[in-house]
Amino acid sequence: MNILIVGFGGMGCRHTQSILTAKTAEKVSVVESSEEIYLTNLERIGASKDQVEYYNSLEKIKGKFDIAILATSSEPRYEIIKTLILQGIKIFIIEKILFQSKSQFIEIIKLLEENNCSTFCNLPNRYFNAYNEIKNLYDRSEVSNFKMNIIAGDFGLTCNSIHYADIYSYISGQEIKIQKTDLHLSSKPNRRGNNYKELVGAFSLQGSKVGNLNILANPSFEGGVVVQITVNDFEFILYENSQAGYCFSPEGVKKIDFEIIPTSRLTSVIISDILNGDCRLPSVQELFLIHNEFFNAFNPVFGLTHTTTTLCPIT
């Protein structure tokens, strides 16, 4: 396997670590504009220069690649994937937010389909046991009540809400649309730079069949992210900080397994699943509608006139 990682920051280096540890590839090529970041994160994951080939720009990469993992922020991703599609790469794993506008999505989906590419968004909650247990319960039940609540502090609401919108769709098989919002600009500086903005507040999404998803980002809340899921008479509470989970049901209360599998272990599993044709991650096409919902809701709060080409400044 020849694997290319674009972006060797916190996520890119952990993707690399997983691939090298599992020997999915003996060597990985990375594109990272900052050699300092490359050297720092090489040391962080205990890898050598022989294992991780370094390029400081896309124009300098050599050879053909089977898979590309795009671990950059959202702004440059549109141009990066266009370049790599035309270089013949057929499989992509991309971090969220995928792209920044409806028109970017339409163009990239067209390019991907014309070039017979498979592209997945790295939303790893689909691989966590607790969510799959809840999905199995949902699949076995005649569901009349399905609800999710996400309660958090200033956790990057616009950036991270895609994880919960996606897991709602994964468990229930439903599309969801934003119904109500009470959103405001976050006063916290964005760690990825001034090009990106964040919101706090709350919004609600409605399922196409049954139930809803409520997401709350309250800057005064300090308990990490708490996930509450109700399926009929079963209620699950999952604490991301402590990775503790509980199930409340007519039979009683029990503790459940809730492990957040780190990227440093999971990426090699995902690549194997892609090659075997049973990857759980959603495709770019599957995520088009919910991204567009986000653009419609968030751009006006950022003070932007929303059109199909407006770039939503979230990462």
Domain that holds residue 249: 129-260
pLDDT at residue 7 in the model: 98
Whether residues 235 and 138 share a domain: the answer is: yes
**What CATH number corresponds to the domain at position 105?**
3.40.50.720
pLDDT at residue 191 in the model: 79
pLDDT at residue 190 in the model: 81
Domain count, the chain: 2
Residues 190 and 204: their CA atoms lie apart, in Å, by 24
Q: Which amino acid is residue 119, in one-letter code?
A: T
Tens of pLDDT, residues 221-234? 998 999 999 999 99
Across the chain, what does the average pLDDT equal?
Answer: 96
Q: Which amino acid is residue 292, in one-letter code?
A: N
pLDDT at residue 213 in the model: 98
Domain membership flag for residue 297: no
Q: Is the dihedral of CA 106, 191, 53, 57 positive or negative?
A: positive
Domain membership flag for residue 271: no
As a whole-number percent, the residues of the chain with pLDDT over 90 amount to 96
Whether residues 73 and 103 share a domain: the answer is: yes
Residues 206 and 282: their CA atoms lie apart, in Å, by 20
pLDDT at residue 224 in the model: 95
The more confidently predicted of residues 188 and 146 is 146
Whether residues 114 and 199 share a domain: the answer is: no
Q: What confidence tier does 63 reach under pLDDT thresholds 50, 70, 90?
A: confident
Whether residues 176 and 255 share a domain: the answer is: yes
pLDDT at residue 188 in the model: 84
